[in-house]
Structure 1
């Protein structure tokens, strides 16, 4: 599960940074200065990277056996600026806590 967590953490940071660039730089340029080049460039990149983020979050959620609600909340974290950074930290804690917790032995 360590590799899935690493993939998720990397893509969460990338998606977070690209979304901030889009919202903080691209949107003001487009709507304030009629200069859409940043939005036209970063927008599609963010869309593609968000799909990769969804795949990584889904993969990690299946491996960690999360509830549907937790999985959906983590997936939505890539749509709000700065929230993906918070979610990345929480997910890291969830996964490391879950892997350290001894599992009951059946039988």
Structure 2
């Protein structure tokens, strides 16, 4: 299973950088509490709740098991597509970063 299948079940998903997203925690009653979701080059997904919920609790809340954190073999690393390089980024503090192709 890939991170895209986990992200599809979460609300308020925003891309933070390549292979890294934030979303609302499904267990936190207040929507301001965030999750950090990362996928490494091997395809393994890491979920971190800033309020302290365990990854298995979050997965259970969205109807997944811990097996969802590891990819189905064989998983091959893929480079970012051209659209990703050409898109401007927005830092958490609101400042804009030029597209990677212009840096």
Tell me the TM-score normalized by structure 2.
Answer: 0.23
Which structure would you say has the larger Rg? 1
